[in-house]
A and B are shown apart, each in its own frame.
Chain A
Amino acid sequence: MSSDIAIARAGFGTRVRHIWQTSRRLPLIPIIIMSAVVFVAIFADLITPYPPNEMLLPDRLTPPFFMPEGSTAHILGTDTIGRDILSRMMFGARISLSVSLLVIAIATVIGTVLGMLAGYRRGRVDAVLMRVTDAALAFPALLIALLLAVALGPSFRTVVLALSALSWAPYARMMRGEVLKIRDEDFVGQARIIGGSQARILIKHIFPNVVNTLVVLMTMSVGLVILIEASLSFLGAGIPPPTPSWGSMVADGRNLFNRAWWISLFPSLAIGSVVLSGNFLGDWIRDKMDPRLRQL
């Protein structure tokens, strides 16, 4: 606190140096990658060189621009039916991000409500909810997704539904633990004595104390959801073609890796770097907001 005051009093040079030193501690590369991906996902329509599903058959299997036969017309090359890899990846970013945002939003709401209820009510409610949570935690998400893909047919909705079906469990687990820690604190008891309803106590008094943990868990699961979505699309249970998704693009180039490695390499790099950035950002936010969770 006192250093802030000192800086406020200090001259321009000191202030610049302070900003520089703070920013050096930021995970700059993950922030840049993530913002780039978000930007591309939002403005994909405006900035892609080609429509994602346009087939330019004469240009098919063009290598990326730095290869001898490559051309700058298709910076990252084209696939077997002449679709521009870069354009498809940009639209793929939109799929990856929207799936993960939706899934995390749904998982957060369900997990928080169930977890807080279990932790606050204890007893029978807790026992039943935690058994369900245990089952959901232990069950491979990929299988539920396959089952749903068969039952309802692969679609954007199915993918979101399938991934949300289990991903609320870690949230419920974590929220329960956090609520258990503070439910017997004095301020909760006082709120109860004043006559606050259960909903009011949970929302107004307990939730603000657990929201940090929640944010940390949310950022840390971005990468995981993107990875599962990619695996699903790779297996053909994700977003159905021709909609471009990173996972299905890798699958497209799977049998051509030795002749046309660029078809699957670039989408894989996209998956890897986004997941990596997400995990780094998650780690960083955790260290900032809630260092107790470092064991995760």
Chain B
Amino acid sequence: MTRFIILRIIQAFVTLIVISMVIFALARASGDPVMLMAPPMATLEDIEVIRKHLGLDKSLPEQYWVFLKNMTRGDLGKSIQNRRDVTTIMWERLPNTVSLSLPAIFLGISVSLILGVTAACRRATWVDSGVKFLAILGQALPSFWLAIVAISVFAVLLGWLPTSGMGSPAHYVLPVLTLSFFMLPIFTRLLRSSMLEVLDTEYVKLARIKGLSERVVVWKHALRNAIIPLLTAAGITFATIVTGAVIIETVFAWPGLGRLMAEAMIRRDFPVVQAAVLLVAVVVLVVNLLVDIVYAYVDPRIRY
């Protein structure tokens, strides 16, 4: 087990190095930062001074080394737009994204638990086809459009909820709902098929023969085993939440990390986007690492 964990940590570390190389290469491909920073009247000597100041006169491997060193110190550069530390900006925005996505994840998982289990238990009835239809529809409809419709119906037409921004608890309702709807289809489908498999096993039959009530069989014995395969979907869930956060935060003018990225992209503020992508990459790696370890712990057959 220890050997497996150490091996996985090394692998994750190597992946991180590769990702940092890709980002570094893209940063250099994004154009000459000196030209962006130099005032229009700058002479050739001025440009040379700035170049030296930024360390761009060194060789590429040396520049990459500096980039790595700064990265490990948490120094991700300054925003081109307002010259503020990227790390500071991200720390300001992070709580807003977390407070939006945690309730959305919770809601999404609870609703898809109910839908997935009900559909699996009533296989091939109208309940099942209804849930399946909802899941297919949810995967096909553009979520950004769903958010726009929600705003115009509940905020503008009916006036029940605020259109956008962040403040009172009422501001949370629409963004949380639309974000949770993002992950609903995938989770429901996964849970349904995993439940179907478990309901077919011998131990579920045994539990029924023992005379346990159907509720206990389904929600205690079957569900517990059906959830384990869903662990592997944690990585996908995280990716969905990140994508969702970028879109939903943009539509609802929510001051989180997602909107920060979208806005930085439009202003071509490379350091900000680069930092955000790095942060997400680190979280993705950590999530997958944890999932692998937990999975190997829960199911000892999975080992490398």
A residues with CB within 8 A of B: 131-132, 134-135, 137-144, 146-153, 223, 227, 230-231, 234-237, 247, 250-251, 254, 257-258, 261, 264, 268, 271-273, 275-276, 279-280, 295
Contact = CB atoms under 8 A, between A and B. Distances in A.
Interface of B: 11, 14-15, 18-19, 23, 26-27, 29-30, 136-137, 139-145, 148-149, 151-152, 156-157, 193, 235-236, 238-240, 242-243, 246-247, 250-251, 261-262, 264-266, 268-270, 273-274, 276-277, 280-281, 284-285, 287-288
A150 B265 contact: yes
A227 to B, nearest CB: 6
Q: Which of A143, A144, A235, A271 has the most CB of B within 10 A?
A: A143
A272 B288 contact: no
B261 to A, nearest CB: 6
Nearest to B274: A147
B235 A231 contact: no
Given A138-B239, A258-B152, 11 more contacts: A135-B284, A138-B288, A139-B281, A146-B262, A147-B23, A147-B273, A151-B270, A235-B247, A250-B148, A268-B145, A276-B137
A139 B284 contact: yes
For the complex of A and B, the 4 pairs showing the least CB-CB separation, nearest first, are A268-B145, A151-B30, A138-B235, A276-B140
Contacts of B235: 137-138
Contacts of A234: 142, 144, 247
A227 B262 contact: no
B250 A235 contact: yes
A149 B236 CA distance: 23
A257 B156 CA distance: 10
Contacts of B157: 258
A41 B141 CA distance: 21
Given A139-B284, A151-B29, A231-B247, A257 B269 contact: no
B262 A235 contact: yes
Nearest to B279: A143
Contacts of B276: 143
